[in-house]
Amino acid sequence: MTTFVDGNHIQLLRNGTEYFPALVVAIDLANHDIYLQTYIYQADAIGELIGNALMRAAKRGVAVHVLIDGFGSKDLPPYFVKTLTHAGVHVRVYRPKISPWTLKKSRLRRLHQKVVVIDSTIGFVGGINIIDDYDIPEPAPNNVPPRIDYAVRIEGKLMPAITDNVRKLWHRITWTPLRTAKALHQKNKSKKAKVNTAPATPMSAALVIRDNVLHRRDIEEAYLSAIQNARSEIIIANAYFVPGWRFRRALMAAANRGVRVTLLLQGRMEYFLMFATHAFYHEFLKSGIEIFEYHKSFMHSKVAVIDAQWATVGSSNIDPFSLFLAREANVVINDTTFAAELRSDICHTIESGASQILPHVWARANLLKRASSWLAFGMVRLFLDLIGRRNEE
């Protein structure tokens, strides 16, 4: 069950254009400690921008902790990490073993969450990696917009839960003894300045995480609960959309009871398994679900709005990797103003760069394309069998 906390100020950040400047400002104002956890950290102009801010913080005595994923950040040059560490930044790698010759679940469980905590008072949660928005899988003309993605900046009473999440993971990865971890926490707590946890525009929100211990299905269940209780509209914008049967059934049931269900999906395929999404088009369209594919640029969004009230922004895709394996973090916001802002942005993306998949057109779709979708879906199901998760679909 999703536990909401009142008294939060949450700002929607669109793309790196809004996210990275806000992050740098927060880092430069840090007094005590910084935790940054990300799947991809790229040593490009953005990586240097954030890295320089982190090093400035470390040099003025802030305890800076950076946790990156071993697979997602496998291309991060050793010299870049060495530069950070020499400046006093503590860098750790989550599951550095990334052998392609094994399907062991331990190798496939990645750190996919993107969370930053500053002085336990300011947090950032979303889907944006530390990478340039224009670093996309294929060369693009100058007029193509950057990758579409979202994050939120948070202050308020949700921050203790977010802080606890990142600190626990950091101490687990670094094998810090429990007594030492508690001592560090008390030390940082004693140094913290007093902050206003009752913002002018309070919002109700919840942190929903996915791990392989106590929170294995929390994000999926949060989605399912909201979908099953939807009365008027469901809008989901998700880049990697290969939902299990329970999720598909919930969406179709909502459409069948008169809820308008709209899916904004990635139109540009980055790898073959993404074609598995097409395997569901026929049953979705038959149920009255509207499907739009975004082709103008690349979309990395993992957001949704339901009944103009419930909204989520985070790192979790709706596919087996995010829902069954990876460490993920989403924020769920129960607020009409925030939901309206996010909904408006998704609708603008649909109107400006997406094309609708019409039932009669899809029925006549290229036979090879439809066959590829079922081949890709078969590979996904084989993958689930290999890791022993088919029964969780």
Annotated catalytic residues are 112, 114, 119, 300, 302, 307
Cα separation, 296 vs 21, whole angstroms: 25
Using alpha carbons only, what angle is made at residue 116 by residues 87 and 2, rounded to the nearest 5 degrees?
Answer: 160
Three-state DSSP state, 299: strand
Cα separations (Å) of 291 from 104, 240, 323?
35, 14, 22
Cα separation, 224 vs 218, whole angstroms: 10
Query: Number of H helices and number of E strands within the chain?
Result: 13, 15
| Nearest residue to 155 (alpha-carbon basis) of 189, 186, 191, 195 | 195
| Nearest residue to 387 (alpha-carbon basis) of 102, 100, 99 | 102
Strands (DSSP E) contained in the chain are: 5-14, 33-38, 63-69, 90-94, 114-118, 122-126, 150-156, 203-210, 233-238, 260-266, 290-294, 302-306, 310-314, 328-334, 354-357
Angle between the N-to-C axes of helices 245-256 and 218-228, in degrees from 0 to 180, rounded to the nearest 10: 10
What pairing do the DSSP bridges indicate for beta strands 302-306 and 290-294?
unpaired
Asked whether 36 and 7 are in contact (CB, 8 A), the reply is no
| Nearest residue to 169 (alpha-carbon basis) of 110, 121, 218, 221 | 110
